[in-house]
Amino acid sequence: MNLIFLGPPGAGKGTQAKMVTGRYGIPQISTGDILRQALKDKTPMGVKAKEFMDAGKLVPDDVVIGIINDRLREGDCKAGFILDGFPRTVAQAEALSGLLGKMGRQIDAVIDLAVEERFLVERLTGRRTCKNCGMGYHITFSPASKTGVCDKCGGELFQRDDDNEATVIKRFKVYKEQSELLGAHYSAGGRYRKIDGAAPMEQVFKRIVEIIDA
C-alpha cells in the first residue's frame, strides 16, 4: 500500500502516519523529519535547509525530490510507504510519479486531511515532541504526565523551531499558495480522498483504515 498524506501544517499527517505504521508495518517517510535529522547531523543539506525551514518556506524541490528518490529505494519500502509532507508542490508530485513509474510502482491512495486554519495555530504552537523516541504531545490536548518529560521513555520534550506563531502563519501562506493545489492535481486520478481531519484522532484513523482496507 503506497500512500500520500496531504493537508495543512498541523492537520495530523504525522500522527496518523505513525498510527498507520503501527497497524500495517509500512514506513512513514517525512521529508520534514529527514531534513531535521540532517540539520541535527550538520550535513551540508541540513544546514542549507535550515534557512528555508526557519523562514517557514519550502526547501527547493530538487533537494526534497533527491531525498525521496533515495528513500523509496530502501528495502523497507518494498511492501509500501506513507509519504507525510511530500509532495508539497505540483513539480514534486510530477517528479514523484516519474520516480514511481521507473520503479514500476504507483500511489494507491491520496488522503487529504482537511482542517480549518483557525484550529491549527493552537495545535501547532502547543505541539511538543520527545527528543529520544519521537512521541508527540500537546500542552493542552494531550499533555505529558510530567511537564517536559516523555511518558513513554522519559526523554526530554522539545518544541520545533518553526512551531512559533509567526512562522506558523508563514507556513499556512505557503501551504495555500503552493500545496493546496495538490488536491485538485490528485482528485483527477480517482485515488484521492478528502477526510475530516478535525475529528478526534481515533475517528480520523478509523476513516483512514476504511480507505486502506477498501
Stretch that binds ligand AMP, among 18-26, 57-65, 99-107, 128-136 (CB under 6 A): 57-65
Considering 71, 88, 123, 207, which one is annotated as catalytic?
88
Q: Is 35 in the site for ligand AMP (CB under 6 A)?
A: yes
The residue within the footprint of ligand AMP, chosen from 11, 12, 26, 86 (CB under 6 A), is: 86
DSSP code string of 90-123: HHHHHHHHHHHHHHT----EEEEEE--HHHHHHH
Considering 36, 50, 123, 127, which one is annotated as catalytic?
127
Window 108-167: residues binding ligand AMP (CB under 6 A): 162
Q: Is 2 helix (H, G, I), strand (E, B) or coil?
A: strand
User: Has 127 been annotated as catalytic?
Assistant: yes
Query: Least Å distance between CB 108 and ligand AMP?
Result: 20
H helix runs in the chain, sequence order: 13-24, 31-40, 44-54, 61-72, 90-103, 117-125, 165-174, 182-187, 201-213
User: Has 160 been annotated as catalytic?
Assistant: yes
Considering 105, 160, 193, 194, which one is annotated as catalytic?
160
Residue 51: CB partners within 8 Å, gap ≥ 6? none
Which residues sit opposite 128 in a β-bridge? 137
Q: Is 192 in the site for ligand AMP (CB under 6 A)?
A: no
Cβ distance to ligand AMP smaller for residue 15 or 30: 30
User: Has 105 been annotated as catalytic?
Assistant: no
Give the length of the chain: 214
Considering 36, 71, 123, 171, which one is annotated as catalytic?
171
Backbone angles phi, psi at 194, to 5 degrees: -100, 125
Distance CA 146, CA 143 (A): 8
Q: Is 59 in the site for ligand AMP (CB under 6 A)?
A: yes
Stretch that binds ligand AMP, among 31-39, 72-80, 94-102, 126-134 (CB under 6 A): 31-39
- Rule CB under 6 A: which residues touch ligand AMP? 9, 30-32, 35, 52-53, 56-59, 64, 85-88, 92, 162, 171
